[in-house]
Amino acid sequence: METTAQNVFSLPVDSVKELLEHYGPSLQAMNRSPKTISWYVEILSRYFTFLESKNLTKPLSELGKEELRAYIQHLQKSARWENNVHIKTERGKMSPYSVQGHVRAVKAFWSWLANEGYVEKNMLAGFPLPKVPQYVVKTLTIDHLKKLLAAIDRSTAIGARYYALLMLLLDTGLRVSEAVKIKMNDVDLKHGLITVLGKGQKERVVPFSKLTRKELTRYIHNVRSHLDCKDSPYLFPAGSGEYVSISSVQQFIRRLAKEAGLNGVKCSPHIFRHTFATQAIANGANVFAVKEIMGHASLQTTLKYTHLQISDLKNQHEKFSPVEGLMKPKF
């Protein structure tokens, strides 16, 4: 029997489970990744379980802001990775960003319920997202990058592979999940372009510089065949014809940072992505171009990189401070 607004009653009921089963394919039709779909369904299941545990169950059409506020308060007191038995370290409280993510998921589900006609009115329309702290995006300096790259032993096939991969990450701002899945036929060395399959299965073409083209050419023609993965279709192959894993890249960068003496400096593939965006905009890149290169769905995401780093602020301050102007000689 098809689930409709008329037969959705109190929670928990089979009809709610049916709704979640319908919601997954709906997200898939919107090109959401399997990981994203799983995340949405997991959070919504957790939300409904919370409502049941607090005796807040009622018809879906009557659930709204009061119940969501109660859930937010619950999340703010919850431990990080509360349901993950594999995490043994000190957990601490759930971050404001995670709490906001849960609220986004619930609001999105209610929008879907209204659009599909399961409820007559979206009771969460206009519900504000919990505020999160605004931090300066962490990036690496040019000196950091030089030290990291210099610490790689390029005489080995593995070292040369990672050197080429890190150069590509720094030059394009690719997500590491995108970079490791690049196939040989995605690379256009002649024109300095790579075709990338990003979030939501959206394809985009990303340019890379002459220096990176030179490094990729060297790697492809002189090194890649020594990785014992000749039949792999991937640009950065690993064993059994697969591509190098994301965790392997993360671990390599962490070890590299220690070898480069960058103690206390956070280094990760995502920091490389932040560094590309910040440096590109600081060097005069158009934010719309950066948005397309990085595959951002919203310009707002790109705009967070338009802030100036501390060194830039200091230089600008010295140029335009009225006090500095008092000290300049008059001619």
Residues belonging to the active site: 175, 199, 270, 273, 296, 305
The DSSP-derived string for 247-296 is HHHHHHHHHHHHHTT-TT----HHHHHHHHHHHHHHTT--HHHHHHHHT-
| Helix (H) / strand (E) containing 205 | strand 203-207
- In angstroms, the CA 210 to CA 191 distance is 10
The residue type found at 213 is R
Give the count of alpha carbons within 13 A of 307, CB side only: 14
Question: With contact defined as beta carbons under 8 Å apart, do 299 and 288 qualify?
Answer: yes
Tell me the C-alpha to C-alpha distance, in Å, between residue 246 and each of 160, 180, 324: 17, 7, 49
Measure the CA–CA gap between 145 and 317, rounded to whole angstroms.
Answer: 26
* Cβ pair 257, 147 in contact under 8 A: no
Amino acid 259 reads E
What's CA 150's distance to the chain center, in Å? 27
For 193, phi and psi rounded to 5 degrees?
Answer: -135, 145
Q: Where are the alpha helices (DSSP H) in 54-127?
A: 65-77, 96-116
- Cα 147 to chain center, whole Å? 25
132 near 97, Cβ under 8 Å?
yes
Quick one: three-class SS letters along 162-195?
Answer: HHHHHHHHHHHCCCHHHHCCCEHHHEECCCCEEE
